[in-house]
Chain A
Amino acid sequence: MSISETYVRYRQTLSEEPLAIGVILVALWMAWSLASGLATGGIEISSLASLVWDGLLRGLIIGLAGIGLSMTYSILNFANFAHGDYLTSGAFAGMATSYLIAGIGENSVGALLLVGAGGSVFGGALGIGVTTSPLAVVLGALIAGVATIALALLIDRFVYRPIRDESGIALLITSIGVAFALRYLIQFVFGAGVRGTTAAGSVPRVNVPAIDGTFRVTAHDISLVVVAAGLMLGVHLLLQRTKLGKAMRAMSDNEDLARITGIPTEQVIRTTWIVGAGLTGVAGYMFILWKGTLGFNDGWLLLLLVFAAVILGGIGSIYGAIGGGIVIGLTASVSVIWIPSEFGRAAAFLVMIVILLFKPEGIFSGRTTA
């Protein structure tokens, strides 16, 4: 394509899409204000680095949780509004395990299993942390995944499977019911209070030098990066090297055709739930370990950001979910340079809405793996 053709095409886009001009102008203003802030010293490079690091970690959690959502969205063809509460369930199951292992013998088993409901046991006092109680954390993450898988399969069997052939909207509405039931059952069992779960003071940390200062990296940051990267690589290999990935791609394209060609669709759906829910549970646990507090609303509050990531990346693409997660996480954190900090999440939603308007198939579309 010659330059003039490209130019004409862009001019056409601009005249047809007045909103596009607005978006471009906003982007230019943001770049300018960041550049001038950095040049004049109004924005310190170290604080920018700290925001980027925070955004990256958030993004990894969102991306990890997003893989599961994206897989069920493309295979079962509905937006699962209960996904956030799967995340919370995983976090509670995992934390209960960690509490039990770290505190058995000195505290009552009931209080430990309820993750210290009503202030009976405190995570800080138990010394929960990746360096202080490594076994409790590793087993906690494992149980978080396993419990979420069990929960997702159970819910699928009794809630989603009987209405598998209904429209995506009917399933979506049903998933809202699941979300309500799950979230408030968790509140019923574990209580409404937000509890501190980790010994925040004793987590090892290093100050990484940036040009004009330092930013902080903790052991929980590192463990989050390791777990997220490992699981993402694992899913990538699983879907690339096994027939499962191919079967899933076939199903998300055309379920009837897939069934005719001999793909056991129910089995693929079950495997999808297993992989997706496992990742979601671990993501929930790592999220709680990283931020250090746990409440029954945490997953629900994260859900919209996860949706934003999945839509941004293109539904059905696991790389899209990871990439979208990182973009959304960075947006939510770094946007405080330009706007008041209360609007970090609002900015992430706005990015999602803009993407939906201009490229509803997502920015990584066409590269679907699952």
Chain B
Amino acid sequence: MSVSDLRGRFEGLFERDITLVLAVLGVIYLAYILSGVVFGYGLRGQLNSVANLTFYIGVFGMLALALNLHWGYTGLFNIGIIGFMGIGVYVTALVSKPPVAEGGAAQVGGFGLPLFIGIPAGVLVAGLFGLLVALPALRLRADYLAIVTVAFSEIIRFTMMSRTFQTYTVPDTIDLWLFTVDPTADTVGLGGGGGLILNYTDPLEALLRGLFLWEPYLAFIAFVQRNFIPNNPKPVIDGVAYGIVLLVGVGLFYLLLTRTGQSPFGRVLKAIREDEDVANALGKDTDRFKLTAFVLGAALMGLGGILWYSGRGSVTPPSFRPNITFFVWIALIIGGAGSNTGSFLGGAIFAGVLYQGPRYFKNLVEAAFELGSAPRNFGEAMAGFASLDPMPFVLYTLDSISQLRLVIMGVVLIWLMHNRPEGLLGHRKETASTVDLARPGSAESSGKPSAADGGEER
């Protein structure tokens, strides 16, 4: 096969990926916009709904991509994702929150440094904690690693909630041998059960100011206000702009991870996933490779957490329960572990259909039919069946859609593991080898991974 031939095939593949991604995104967005039409949303409502959808597609896409580095490439069963996300957000908050002001709502301050220091600090510390977990834990079997990582994420949450780290008074001057430091911070801490108020500059504003786009942005908002949305368009436009930032972030994640996967480093990771002993026997220091991959993935998860939570007004420890970890896992399994495009698609489908979809479905039904108020509990819902009236039950079901959403996720996960454990694009799982492993002349020479027993078809 000539180089140009290969290149042509590669480009063809890329174009197919692009079409696939655009098609999936197009369908999801179209569904949301159409349901917006049913709800009778104006421009403002539509933009709001699209911004919200984009936000979740962005964050789940990023986290699924980061998890794909751990599980899809290296075979590390990490279910402590939310712990790394939490560390990222809390460190960013600690570094960037302004010191406690007189009469302000925030009880706990920070070091008041700008976000472009705070965010890298959060990513760095998430990576460091990745190292802390990985150093001892990577020797363990996959299921033990899973239990250790989920225990780690719970320990992080207990730490956030604890009174011990709630506040800490920074001394006015710190003597460091030759010179003294005079930190601006007075009271810092993790805020305990009440969480932290994120009273630093809004991340979007900080970004746009950094790019000298803040003035044009404000002018654009004024333009929208004059022509399209007369009252207070800023929050809506902010949402859309932040969504675009997240999508750019997903693109960067994708590029970084695809480059990593195709590099010699990435090939060793895949070899470790296939058979660690063989990789070891070939002279690769597999522990080192696993460590690097774990730290990189943990840092990316930290960044994902920062992008998810730092734009909100506050964070509280209950947001960091293990549920979100499992959401990201479901997203990855939908998309197919081992494929970056699949990971993003999985994130998008999860966000659009499983995470946000049920609520939209409920709103759609409520918009289409005149429904009374729902019964307060399951008993009242079932009471309707006594008089052959299913309506109370239907109403109760609709009303509890936010819990049933998790039941649906669980059932989807079981269904996927039964019927399509490789997900949407998992069959494209890249093999560790650089050359095509299929037998020459075989009908299916690409796309299908070779069997583990030396490539013989069974």
Contact = CB atoms under 8 A, between A and B. Distances in A.
Contact of A114 (B154, B377, B417): B377
A163 B144 contact: no
B376 A118 contact: yes
Contacts of B400: 187-188
Contacts of A187: 400, 403
B409 interface: yes
A107 B142 CA distance: 50
Contacts of B333: 173
A177 B377 contact: no
B421 A346 contact: no
A64 interface: no
A78 B144 CA distance: 11
Contact of B326 (A176, A345, A346): A176
A357 B147 CA distance: 13
Given A110-B382, A183-B406, A173 B413 contact: yes
A172 B143 contact: yes
Nearest to A308: B151
A294 interface: no
Contact of B403 (A176, A184, A350, A356): A184
Contacts of A120: 377, 379
Contacts of A346: 154-155, 158-159
A337 interface: no
What secondary structure prevails in chain A residues at the interface with B? helix
Contact size range, B? 35 or more
Contacts of B147: 79, 304, 307-308, 311, 352, 356
B379 A114 contact: yes
Contacts of A318: none
A10 interface: no
Contacts of B421: 166, 170
Contact of B406 (A111, A184, A189, A349): A184
B164, B329, B333, B410: residue with the most chain A Cβ atoms closer than 10 Å: B410
Given A176-B326, A176-B329, A170 B417 contact: yes
Contacts of A183: 406
B150 interface: yes
Contacts of A304: 147, 150-151, 154
B43 interface: no
B339 to A, nearest CB: 17
Interface in B406-453: 406-407, 409-414, 417-418, 421
A343 interface: yes
A118, A169, A178, A180: residue with the most chain B Cβ atoms closer than 10 Å: A180
A360 B412 CA distance: 33
B252 interface: no
Contact size range, A? 35 or more
A159 B414 contact: yes
Contact of B378 (A114, A170, A350, A356): A114
B378 A163 contact: no
A346 B158 CA distance: 7
B27 interface: no
A182 interface: yes
B148 A174 contact: no
B413 A174 contact: yes
Given A118-B376, A170-B417, A357-B136, A185 B162 contact: no
Given A170-B417, A346-B158, A118 B377 contact: yes
A117, A174, A177, A189: residue with the most chain B Cβ atoms closer than 10 Å: A177
Contacts of B407: 180-181, 184-185, 188
A262 interface: no
15 contacts: A117-B377, A163-B418, A166-B417, A166-B421, A169-B143, A172-B143, A178-B410, A179-B410, A181-B411, A304-B147, A311-B144, A342-B164, A343-B158, A353-B151, A353-B152
8 tightest Cβ-Cβ pairs between the two chains A and B: A180-B410, A177-B413, A181-B410, A110-B379, A342-B162, A349-B151, A184-B406, A177-B414
